[in-house]
């Protein structure tokens, strides 16, 4: 029963990967073609041109039909509270900047991304393909989590816009569809980063498992004192860390802007609810509360998934250093093996896998909590800043 469930689950993981690939091709955000003869990918200028033309058209449609997607409650809110309208303008500017930077960097850095993906393909074909990874549950889970989050985000957009807008017309439909496709493109770019990191994580997980197996073999069989695998594992580990550094370099701006956008949406939506209740003196209906709650929950889940992904890879890197320390308890190792292990241990202690953005901050669970606390403080500051206006309009 459990084996059948795992088989079904792995197929669902593969479905998520294939859906990401074909969606990215359709949106023009994965400008590569696969060359089966060489088992490598190649950048396609035609796909780059198609992606630029298609997404420029989408942006034009979204901007032209933006007014049709605005609800009456939102318009009334902006009329009563000018600060809310100014914040909305700034937020829309941030979202446009995020979309522009993410798409531009995606095409501009596509050559470097292609080289990174080819290295991943080479490592998989020559070194990691032969390993059984069916028990690497985190890899499967995080791929599924990202796919589910993407679907929930899109459903949330439909629910919010159609749920709050009673004026159903062609303009609303075109505006919602264009916004949804643009949002899907943004999610696809972040999913590319997500998948790249997960493949690096799984490769490090394989190395850690083989190191543990070697520790057990050397501990049980006292006659075994040599191993030729350590230099190869060391070389693979070093290449993976360099590959991760390049991945972070390609997606630096995109992921940072995506995280900032998710956090600002949460802060602004809470402020809007406060203005709606306090300034307009309107009761929040159960449907409106449910609408707000689902959007907030999905945004927080997507935000934390990006944080947890990086923390997972960092934890796997820490495990490598911890596993290498276990070799110190094994006596009478071959001198060459001991030297190789020392080199590996020193490297893993001094060269850590990190997700450092702009050389300013690392992404991990502790930093994620700090971001959430900072957003809460920003929310309180925003309410204090507009407190007099809130109280004046409510009387």
List, in order, residues 6 or more apart from 91 with CB less than 8 Å away.
264, 265, 268
pLDDT tops 60 at residue 394: no
Long-range Cβ contacts of 359-366 (<8 Å, 24+ apart): 363/306, 363/307, 363/310, 363/311, 364/307, 364/310, 364/311, 364/314, 365/307, 365/308, 365/311
Q: How far apart are CA 23 and CA 11, in angstroms?
A: 18
Q: Work out the pLDDT band at 387, boundaries 50, 70, 90.
A: low
CA atoms within 13 A on the CB side of 239: 17
pTM for the model stands at 0.90
Q: Any bridge partners for residue 32, and if so which?
A: 43
Q: Work out the pLDDT band at 22, boundaries 50, 70, 90.
A: very high
pLDDT tops 90 at residue 221: no
| Tens of pLDDT, residues 327-364 | 887 777 778 888 888 888 888 888 888 888 777 778 88
Give 98-147 as a DSSP string. Answer: HHHHHHHHHHHTHHHHHHHHHHHHHHIIIIITTS--TT-HHHHHHHHHHH
Is the pLDDT higher at 89 or at 169? Answer: 89
Across the chain, the runs of DSSP E, i.e. the strands, are: 32-35, 40-43, 356-357, 361-362
pLDDT for residue 245: 92
Q: What is the mean pLDDT of the chain?
A: 85
pLDDT tops 60 at residue 115: yes
Q: Give the dihedral sign, CA 49/52/57/60.
A: negative
List, in order, residues 6 or more apart from 13 with CB less than 8 Å away.
139, 140, 143, 144
pLDDT for residue 351: 83
**Domain positions in the chain:** 71-394
């Amino acid at each position: 029963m459990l084996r059948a469930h795992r088989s079904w689950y792995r197929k669902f993981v593969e479905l998520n990967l294939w859906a990401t690939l074909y969606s990215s091709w359709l949106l023009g955000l994965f400008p590569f073609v696969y060359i089966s003869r060489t088992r490598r990918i190649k950048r396609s200028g035609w796909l780059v041109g198609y992606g630029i033309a298609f997404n420029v058209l989408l942006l034009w449609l979204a901007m032209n039909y933006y007014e049709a997607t605005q609800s009456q409650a939102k318009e009334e809110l902006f009329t009563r509270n000018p600060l809310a309208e100014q914040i909305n303008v700034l937020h829309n500017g941030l979202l446009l900047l995020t979309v522009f930077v993410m798409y531009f960097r995606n095409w501009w850095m596509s050559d470097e991304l292609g080289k990174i993906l080819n290295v991943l393909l080479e490592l998989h074909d020559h070194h990691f393909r032969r390993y059984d990874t069916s028990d690497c549950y985190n890899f499967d889970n995080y791929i599924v989590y990202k796919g589910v989050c993407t679907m929930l985000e899109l459903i949330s957009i439909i629910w919010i816009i159609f749920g709050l807008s009673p004026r159903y017309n062609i303009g609303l439909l075109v505006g919602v569809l264009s916004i949804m496709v643009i949002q899907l493109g943004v999610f696809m770019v972040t999913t590319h980063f997500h998948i790249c990191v997960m493949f690096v994580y799984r490769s490090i997980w394989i190395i850690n498992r083989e190191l543990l197996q070697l520790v057990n073999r050397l501990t049980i069989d006292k006659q075994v004192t040599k191993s030729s695998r350590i230099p190869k594992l060391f070389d693979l580990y070093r290449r993976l860390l360099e590959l991760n550094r390049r991945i972070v370099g390609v997606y630096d701006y995109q992921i940072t802007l995506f995280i900032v956008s998710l956090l600002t949406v949460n802060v602004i939506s809470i402020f809007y609810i406060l203005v709606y209740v306090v300034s307009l003196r309107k009761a929040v209906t159960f449907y409106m509360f449910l609408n707000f709650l689902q959007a907030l929950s999905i945004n927080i889940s997507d935000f934390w998934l990006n944080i947890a992904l990086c923390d997972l890879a960092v934890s796997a890197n820490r495990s490598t250093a911890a596993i290498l320390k276990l070799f110190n308890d094994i006596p009478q190792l071959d001198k060459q093996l001991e030297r190789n292990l020392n080199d590996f241990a020193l490297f893993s202690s001094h060269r850590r896998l990190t997700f450092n953005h702009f050389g300013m901050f690392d992404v991990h669970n502790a930093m994620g909590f700090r971001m959430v606390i900072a957003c809460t403080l920003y929310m309180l500051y925003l309410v204090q800043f507009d407190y007099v206006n809130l109280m004046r309009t409510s009387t």
